[in-house]
Amino acid sequence: MEECHDRSALLALRRAMAAALAEERRHNTRFNAYCHVTVRWHHEPGEAKQYEALDLSETGIRVKTDGVLPEGLTGRVRWSSGNHHEEDRPLMVVWSRPIHSPEGEISHFEAGLRLF
């Protein structure tokens, strides 16, 4: 019974996030951020993944990844924002793409994480 409840909550969260994604998000200033963030994906809540943050704003983070992250993937992200203040926010992957070296080879991937 509890599994069904968790699935319903996750679907409701995804619907709310999808509605929020329709809003204009580029009016926020982005700041370069060379730090690591910890993500717990909803499909693997017991496993924490570390990503290098490249820039961030009030509504999103661009991260460096080893592979493509599926659009719509949801989870929670944590990072320190100075003065020992810890941020913990829900997120959704809104884009993911390969980054090519000057030789044309894929050097790594980047993903845009929308914060809620």
Q: Where are the domains of the chain?
A: 2-115
pLDDT given for residue 19 in this prediction: 57
Residue 105 burial (CB < 10 Å; 0-12/13-18/19+)? Answer: exposed
Q: Which residues fall within 8 angstroms of residue 94, CB to CB, at 6 or more apart?
A: 21, 60, 71, 112, 113, 114
| 4, pLDDT greater than 50 | no
In the predicted structure, residue 33 carries a pLDDT above the cut 80: no
- Please state, for a pLDDT cut of 90, what percent of the chain lies above it: 59
Confidence label for 26 from pLDDT (cuts 50, 70 and 90): low
Residue range 43-88, pLDDT digits in tens: 999 999 999 999 988 899 999 999 999 999 999 999 986 667 788 9
Q: What is the pTM of this model?
A: 0.72
Q: What is the CATH number of domain 2-115?
A: 2.40.10.220
DSSP symbol at 69: P
Token pair belonging to 37 = 């963030």
Q: Give the confidence band of 2 by pLDDT, cuts at 50, 70, 90.
A: very low
How crowded is residue 51: how many other Cβ atoms within 10 Å of its Cβ? 22
**105 in Cβ contact with 85 (< 8 Å):** no
The one-letter amino acid at 13: L
